[in-house]
Structure formats: structure tokens, C-alpha cells
Amino acid sequence: MEDQIPDFIKRVTPDHESSVKAYKLYKQLSCISKFVHGNRVDVYSTGSDYYKSLCQHLDAAKKRIWMEMYIFDETTTCRKFVDSLIAASKRGCDVVVLLDYFGALDFPNQWKEELQSKGVNIYYFNPLFPPKSSISFFTFRNHRKIIITDDTAFCGSSNIAMRSTDELVEGKCIFHEFGVKVNGPIVAELGKSFISTLEIAKVPIRRDPFEATESFDDGSLIQILESNPWTRNKSIQEVFKYMLKNAEKGIFIATSYFHPEGAIRRRILEAKKRKVPIHLLLSGKSDIHCDVDSTIHLANKLMSHPPSNSDKLKIYLTNKWHFHGKAMMVDDLWTSIGTYNMDRLSSRRNMEISLGILDYRIAKKVKEIQLSYSSQYYADQLTLDTMLQVPMHKRIYGKFCHCCYKFLSSSRWLDWFTDEGFKNRFRHTFIRTFIEDNVGTLLASASSILGM
């Protein structure tokens, strides 16, 4: 068996046993999404460090800056990005920016016009107005956050927003982020993914794929995972379910808006039943009302159903900031970092992207970061004993919040108001009602006209 394990697997594993496990994962996960060999990965556990590196690369870019972003707000921090994009365009860079229409509602139109006047190609994804630019339901959003600068790419939970820089701004909730910078052949694959999004958005520009750079001998194996209702690509969900189902040594999940679908929840409970150690770092503060109460309700369900092996499941809630990162690590070998929240919006409504990384070095670093953030200084542990101390009215309220969230995020009633069928129904209903209510007046007017 050892002779059959490729060298690129041995280089990302610490020992023979891990190599065997990693090679099995490699073969199974390759059936879902291809792996790209030989990539360099840098992990950022704070938004400020992520922004500093990103700004340096934006200012140094010579060939291209391709940006796909959900939120881009109107703050002094974000104005620096606008200036960097304009400067890059003046240097001759190909600058293309695709912002989600809903996420970028705070993006000033004045900034957009200024960017366009300086040669920056900037567009909105699935805008509500003008109607002809809309490509689908208004609830179909692009939640991806990737930035490509020449032969480097950034991907993670960070929006272009001041509250993600680890500073308390006007009393608003601080966001704590998770992201990666990658170099190597994977950047060209991310470029293809960006081009695909431009085609889905039906913007009036097209771009050709660029040539991949050489791989690093000791580089990580990375696959691009997506959740895309438009193309029906659910590789994120498929890989997550496979990894949870086959976990043996441990599962580490750090995420915001923890409202996983039934399939993911069942995989976590099955792993708990198999006595696999599970470590959840969830957000104890949130920018969404009722989110924390619903999260605590679900955490209680995971711990108490069944109550056996509860010592294998450790759940922590951050107490100083809103943890906005999205990461998962399994068996000290495989890691996922990206934009995918474990909720129904990410699973069913949004376009999402995550990088699946097969490399024990990255897994080790992500695990260390999560453990450090689970310390008593940053987070509070939830246990069966602490949950029993929660008053009954708060438990009922948590259940209510969870039911409301499921209804709002899962049902299709909002789509009914934004699809083309509704527009046709509205027009037909309006015309029919107008005629029925005014038939007498119309006949009288017609008679007088004919009489004339």
C-alpha cells in the first residue's frame, strides 16, 4: 500500500497512517471536485491581518484585480479600497468588481460612478432595478467573497466592511473573521470560477482564463467547493456530509449563524454516537436578532439527543465579538475555509464558495486557532448543566426563534413576489380588475366616441 501512495500525499501528511487516510480521502473527494496540487496557503484568524495583506497585494497588482464581494459599505476603511482600485486601474490593471446588489446596498452610487470613470468595471449581481438586469428571484444572492490579485487569491468570511477590522465602530458588533491567502495553480482555477459568476450575472463583459503558475513541491492539495442554486452544484454539502460521516479522530467546526440542515445535523449526531470528539465554536453575539437564541436551542438539541456520549461534544459561544468565520477541520488532515454558513440560506439560496484543503499543517493551525478562541477569556462553554439552568421561557423563546428562522429561510413565499410568473400574474390581475371595476365607464366612453 505504501508504494501506491503518491509523493504529493506523503508531503502533506505527518506519518504513514495519515498518508493512508489522506489518500483514501483524496480518491473519494476527487469524485466530487478535483484537487489542485502544489499550493501555498496562509491562514488569517483576524480581519485586520487579512485586510493588511489584501491591501498590500491590491497596491502591488500589475495585471489584474478581480473582486467578488457580498458587502462593501460606506466607511473610511472601505474608501481606501476604492482608492486602491482606482490606482490599480491607472497602472493598467484589469479591474473587475462584482458586488451583490442586496449586500452592497450601502455602497454609494457616487463611488460607483467614480470607479467607472476611472476605468474600473463594476457591476451588481442580480439587481432588483432595472428589472431587465434581474436574473432570478431577489432572494438568490451571491455570498461569495474572493479577490484575485495577479497570481494571488484571497478567500474567506471577510466583507469589505469596517466592522470586520477588529475595531469597535460606533458601538456596532465587532466581527471576527477567518480567511486564507493562496498562491499556486489553484489561483487560475479560482479565476475560472470568477469568470463563471460573471456569466451567471449576465454582465456585459467577459474574461478569458489566465495561465496557472507553477506548483510548489511541498504545497497543499486544494479543491474548490461550491453551493450554487443556479448550476445546482452542491459540492460543499456533499463533501461536508462525507467528512462528517467518515470522521474518526475529531471534528472541529467554527461558524456563525449555526442553523444546519437536517442532513448535517444527523451526521454530527452520528459522529457523537461513534464517540468521535466534536468541538463547536459558535457565535455568542450576532448582528441578527434571535440568532443566538436559536443557536443555543440547536446546541441543546445536539447535546441532549441522545444524552449519551455528551462528553464527546464540546460547544463554546464567543462572548466578546460576533464570530463571523466559517471553518471546519476533520481528523487533523482536512480543512475547509470559505463563505459557507451552516444554515439554510447558504445551502438553498446563496452562491457560496469554500476551499477544501488536504494538508495536516493547515489543519493543525486551524485547530490551534479554534482552541485558543475557546478559552475562558473569549468564549463560554455550553453544557447540559448550564442548559438546565436556562429558564423555561427562554427555552420556549429559543424554539420560537428557530421555527421563525426555518420558515423565513426555507419557504418559497418570498420568491413568489420576485419571479417572472408573479409579474405576469400581477399584470393580468391588474388589467382584469381594472376592466371589471370600470366596465360601465369604458362602455359609456366608447359609445360617446362612436356617437361622435
355 with 282, same domain?
yes
In a domain, 150, yes or no: yes
170 with 264, same domain?
yes
79 with 127, same domain?
yes
291 with 428, same domain?
no
Residue 115 belongs to what domain range? 7-384
Chain-wide mean pLDDT for the chain? 89
Average pLDDT over residues 276-288: 94
In a domain, 26, yes or no: yes
Q: How confident is the model at residue 437 (pLDDT cuts 50, 70, 90)?
A: low
In a domain, 408, yes or no: no
Q: What is the per-residue pLDDT across 361-378, written as a single tens digit (0 to 9) for each?
A: 999 999 999 999 998 778
Q: What is the per-residue pLDDT across 93-137, written as a single tens digit (0 to 9) for each?
A: 999 999 999 999 999 999 999 999 999 999 999 998 877 788 988
98 with 194, same domain?
yes
| Structural domains in the chain (count) | 2
Q: Is the peptide bond before 130 cis (omega within 30 degrees of 0)?
A: yes
Q: Which of 384, 402, 434 is the last residue of a domain?
A: 384
Average pLDDT over residues 287-306: 89
The least confident of 62-71, 240-249, 341-350 is 341-350
Q: How confident is the model at residue 448 (pLDDT cuts 50, 70, 90)?
A: low
307 with 436, same domain?
no
Q: How confident is the model at residue 226 (pLDDT cuts 50, 70, 90)?
A: very high
In a domain, 406, yes or no: no
337 with 427, same domain?
no
CA distance 224 to 445: 65
Q: What is the per-residue pLDDT across 303-339, written as a single tens digit (0 to 9) for each?
A: 887 777 778 899 999 998 899 999 999 999 999 999 9
Average pLDDT over residues 251-255: 97
315 with 225, same domain?
yes
- Is pLDDT larger for residue 433 or for residue 253? 253
Indicate whether 1 pLDDT > 70.
Answer: no
Q: How confident is the model at residue 76 (pLDDT cuts 50, 70, 90)?
A: confident
The least confident of 70-84, 86-100, 418-432, 434-448 is 418-432
302 with 446, same domain?
no
pLDDT score of 389: 84
What is the pTM assigned to this prediction?
Answer: 0.89
pLDDT score of 436: 56
296 with 184, same domain?
yes
Work out whether strand 121-125 and strand 94-100 pair parallel, antiparallel, or are unpaired: parallel
In a domain, 415, yes or no: no
229 with 372, same domain?
yes
441 with 363, same domain?
no
Q: Which CATH number do you get for residue 89?
A: 3.30.870.10
In a domain, 391, yes or no: no
